[in-house]
Structure 1
Amino acid sequence: MRAALFVTCVNDALYPRTGTAVVRLLERLGVEVDFPAAQSCCGQPPYNTGYRRESEPLLRRTAEAFAGHRYVVTPSGSCAAMIRTHYPRIGRLAEREGRGPGTARLAEDLAPRVYELTEFLVDVLGVTDVGAYFPHTVTYHPSCHGLRALGLGDRPRRLLAAVKGLELVELPGAEECCGFGGTFAVKNPDVSAAMGADKAAAAAATGAQVLCGGDNSCLAHLDGVLRRRGTALRTLHLAEILASTEEDPLV
Structure 2
Amino acid sequence: MKVALFVPCFIDAYFPQVGIATLELLERLGCEVDYPPQQTCCGQPMSNSGCKDDAAGAEALFVRNFSRYDHIVAPSGSCVHHVRANLDAIEQTEKVAHVRRSTFELVEFLHDILCVESFPWAEFPHKVGLHNSCTALRDLRHASTSELNEPPFSKPMDLLGKVKGIEFVQPQRPDECCGFGGTFSVTEAPVSAKMGYDKVNDHQTAGAEYIVSADMSCLMHQKGCAQRMGMQLKFIHIAQILNGDAA
Instruction: State the shift of 1:158 in Å.
Output: 0.4
Instruction: State the shift of 1:196 in Å.
Output: 0.7
- Give distance in 2, aligned partners of 1:195 and 1:35: 36
1:12-161 matches, cutoff 5 A: 12-87=12-87, 90-91=88-89, 94=90, 102-131=91-120, 132-153=122-143, 154-161=154-161
Instruction: State the shift of 1:188 in Å.
Output: 0.5
What's the TM-score, normalizing by structure 1?
0.91
Instruction: State the shift of 1:67 in Å.
Output: 1.7
Structure 1, residues 50-84: CA drift from partner, whole Å, max 9, x if none? 10000011111001111211110000001011111
What's the TM-score, normalizing by structure 2?
0.92
Match of 2:187 in 1: 187
Match of 1:99 in 2: none
Aligned residues: 236
Structure 2 residue matching 1:139: 3-state secondary structure? strand
Instruction: State the shift of 1:241 in Å.
Output: 0.6
Instruction: State the shift of 1:133 in Å.
Output: 1.2
Structure 1 unpaired stretches of 5+? 95-101
1:155-234 matches, cutoff 5 A: 155-234=155-234
- Give distance in 2, aligned partners of 1:15 and 1:40: 15
Structure 1, residues 16-72: CA drift from partner, whole Å, max 9, x if none? 000110111111111111100111101111111110000011111001111211110
Q: Is the 8 A contact 1:121 1:128 kept in 2?
A: no
Structure 1, residues 113-167: CA drift from partner, whole Å, max 9, x if none? 0010011101111114222211111110000010011111211010111110111
Q: Which runs of 4+ in 1 moved over 3 A?
A: 102-106
- Give distance in 2, aligned partners of 1:226 and 1:128: 34
Structure 2 unpaired stretches of 5+? 144-153
Q: Is the 8 A contact 2:124 2:166 kept in 1?
A: yes
Report the aligned-residue RMSD. 1.3
Identity %: 41
Instruction: State the shift of 1:228 in Å.
Output: 1.0
Instruction: State the shift of 1:250 in Å.
Output: 4.3
More helix by share: 1
- Give distance in 1, aligned partners of 2:112 and 2:34: 20
